[in-house]
Amino acid sequence: MNWRMLLERDKFAGLLAAQDITPTFLMQRYGMLANLVTPQPLERTVRDIDDDAVIATALAAQADVIATGDSDLLVLHPWQGIQILNATDTLQQVQSQ
């Protein structure tokens, strides 16, 4: 699934519309802020093999935090110096800095 399709889901459509933001606008802004990285192959880390790509990308980006609702990732917190937090905890951490 791509990000645009995700942002067009009903649960996000109302939130975006309330801020007068379209999925296209949000994706364009995100693209301006994003840094592209190339993840390196990673030894199997997570129960769900698709989540290994998340871990590998976070390592390549030298991320401090992974914000996720995925329980397979959350149980790894912390992992090799990367905090793995749900959205609420991530927001609280950002607000406290």
Read off the pLDDT of residues 8-35 as tens digits, 9 standing for 90 and up: 888 888 888 888 988 889 889 988 988 8
Q: How far apart are the C-alpha atoms of 68 and 87, rounded to whole Å?
A: 6
| Contact present, 28 and 35 (Cβ < 8 Å) | no
Confidence of residue 49 (pLDDT cuts 50, 70, 90): confident
What is the Cα–Cα distance from 56 to 89, expressed in whole angstroms?
22
Residue 1 has pLDDT above 80, yes or no: no
| Alpha-helix residue ranges (DSSP H) falling in 1-97 | 3-7, 10-18, 23-33, 51-60, 71-74, 87-96
